[in-house]
Structure 1
Amino acid sequence: MTAFFLIIVITMLVLFALYAKRSKSDFPESLIMQHSPIKIGHRGASGYCPENTMASYKKAIELGADFLEVDIHLSKDDVLVVHHDPTLDRTTNGKGNLRDYTAAELKELDAGSWYHSRYKNERIPLLREVLENFGSEVGILIELKHPSAYPGIEEKLAEELGKFQECSTSKNKIMVHSFDMESMKRFHQLMPDIQVGVLIKRRINDQKLKEIAEFASFLNPKQTILSTKLQMRIQKHGMKVFTWTVNNKKQIHMFKMMQVDGIISDFPDYFLD
């Protein structure tokens, strides 16, 4: 009995020693990593393809994105088009303001060659095209760019999404966000069933958080200002926490451990590590 007891004691001591070598954070991290934030492809997979193009969206889906983040403006003839900048010079062979062109004129522009010659046939997509081509595969996170420059853009978006929902059997979600809080208030009143959020890149006080929480489902702080403290303040007001634009694997890992609800990245495949 004595020898058997000694064997048991020695075994327990060995196991304890092995366990003690583990990092103190191993156990809680293993629990935290069970949480999986929404993987949001920033302008598609813009780390690999020209941003906000069909090629970029296809690549993002291939790399495992849950949502595509798309930016929208209004053309001269009031068509919702997908493009980031208010001007055309950076990512197309066009010049000047996007809103000075009709949708048909915008569709003639080359939106891929600036990135690489193999993308020379890429065009500026219409929002309708993005919804029709990808809305059944992934969620779509729509950002209204400079909505104050396009009076009535919220109504146009509500109309477009209403048409899409009527003819779609997809259960993938649509979300809408903007830096413009008033624009999101207006859109929420038009389509209360669609989750809206507000983007921020500066500190925010509790009074403003309270105002946003009255209509928004999520807040989307820039990664450089997102801390555990801010996350807790946002969650205290009943909103989810997203962050943008995270293109470093270690930072993605850190935000996953923080259990944020969504991470926007140019590299959707970085979530796999």
Structure 2
Amino acid sequence: MARPYRRHPYRDVAYLLNTRPGPLHHRPLAFAHRGADPRRENTMGAFRRAVELGFRYLEVDVRTCADGTLVVFHDEELDRTTTGSGPVSEKTWEELAGLRVGAEGELAEPMVRFEELLSAFEDVHLNVDLKDAAAVEEFVRLIEKHQAHDRVLAASFNDARRHHVRRRLTRPIATSGGWTVTALLVLLGPLGLLGRLTGRLTEIDCVQVPISQGRLRVVTPRFVQRCHRAGLQVHVWVVDDPRQMHELLDMGVDGLMTDDAEALAEVMRERSVWPQR
């Protein structure tokens, strides 16, 4: 039987529903990584399936194509997951709209514009990984246009993109730390030097990290505790094994990202936090 979820003080962040009174208050969040359907990642078919299963959070990637349109896509090149080839940045949206993502037949899906996804589910929150510098301007424009400040989190391995987003928006949105902040947390934390990061940590709301990076174990009980003391949530990616999901949740992590939607839904159901919509 799963142990009760540990509570700790949270910063009040509109995007993070576990920080406010309601069914998810002080409960772990479930994220569908790229829609949690690797056969057709980052497509409306994958996103709809995840939402129907009960997911409230979708993790997505965005890139800028040649005409400035923001598209939901992970790779720099089209070759791995689509019927096209070459860099996304060299194609117009008109060209990309004719491609298909995923397996042949009924699983094949069209590519998705970020604005289309932003408008599709009014009560679903989007964890948005900005994959190129050019994405910042259009991302900000769309958030302002749709007044979606409370429904999006800006993520990027590149901390500078997060800074650019924050400076351009008229209202704050949730953000996660990039590689620099996360690395400093991992390396300086055990030395008791987190005080040197105070300014950086107040600019972010969570860290989104893998369990390990190479030989270095990132997510440990002490790492989670240090982040919590700094007011940060810990979201872990990408976790597909139910046993590991339970171990991480027992450790006190605040969210899990998965490619196996059914597995995470069942784990959350066992812990009485499902569905999350």
CA separation of 1:199/1:268 partners in 2, compared to 1, >3 Å: closer, same or farther?
Answer: farther
Which secondary structure state, in structure 2, belongs to the residue aligned with residue 85 of structure 1?
coil
- Tell me whether 1:160 sits opposite 2:147 in the alignment: no
Q: Which amino acid aligns with 1:156?
A: E
Q: Partners of 1:83 and 1:254 in 2: how far apart?
A: 31
> What residue ranges of structure 1 are gaps of 5+ in the alignment?
1-25
Q: Partners of 1:261 and 1:158 in 2: how far apart?
A: 27
Q: CA deviation at 1:83?
A: 0.4
> Which residue of 126, 133, 152 corresponds with 2:120?
133
Which secondary structure state, in structure 2, belongs to the residue aligned with residue 250 of structure 1?
helix
Q: Partners of 1:31 and 1:70 in 2: how far apart?
A: 27
> Which residue of 185, 188, 210 corresponds with 2:163?
185
RMSD, matched Cα: 2.4
Q: Partners of 2:234 and 2:89 in 1: how far apart?
A: 32
- Corresponding residue number in structure 1 for 2:174: 195
- Tell me whether 1:75 sits opposite 2:65 in the alignment: yes
Q: CA deviation at 1:63?
A: 1.8
Tell me which of the two structures has the higher relative contact order, counting C-alpha pairs closer than 8 angstroms and 6 or more residues apart: 2
Task: Assess if the C-alpha contact under 8 Å between 2:150 and 2:173 holds in 1.
Answer: no
Q: Partners of 1:31 and 1:220 in 2: how far apart?
A: 19
Report Cα offsets for 1:150-203 as digits up to 9, x if no partner: 3xx2221111111112xx7xx962111111111111212223521011244864
Please, which moves more after superposition, 185-194 or 218-227? 185-194
Q: Partners of 1:187 and 1:67 in 2: how far apart?
A: 20
Q: CA deviation at 1:35?
A: 5.3
Q: CA deviation at 1:265?
A: 0.6
CA separation of 1:92/1:32 partners in 2, compared to 1, >3 Å: closer, same or farther?
Answer: same
Q: CA deviation at 1:268?
A: 2.7
> What residue ranges of structure 2 are gaps of 5+ in the alignment?
8-24, 213-217, 268-277
Task: Assess if the C-alpha contact under 8 Å between 2:65 and 2:71 holds in 1.
Answer: yes
Q: Which amino acid aligns with 1:257?
A: D
Percent identical across equivalent pairs?
A: 26
> Which residue of 245, 252, 257 corresponds with 1:264?
257
Give the total of aligned pairs. Answer: 234
CA separation of 1:184/1:204 partners in 2, compared to 1, >3 Å: closer, same or farther?
Answer: farther
Task: Assess if the C-alpha contact under 8 Å between 2:224 and 2:252 holds in 1.
Answer: no
- Tell me whether 1:173 sits opposite 2:148 in the alignment: no
Q: Partners of 1:30 and 1:97 in 2: how far apart?
A: 47
CA separation of 1:199/1:40 partners in 2, compared to 1, >3 Å: closer, same or farther?
Answer: farther
TM-score normalized by the length of structure 2: 0.77
- Tell me whether 1:93 sits opposite 2:83 in the alignment: yes
Q: Which amino acid aligns with 1:219?
A: V
Q: Partners of 1:233 and 1:189 in 2: how far apart?
A: 28
Report Cα offsets for 1:104-130 as digits up to 9, x if no partner: 1111111123xx43223x111000010
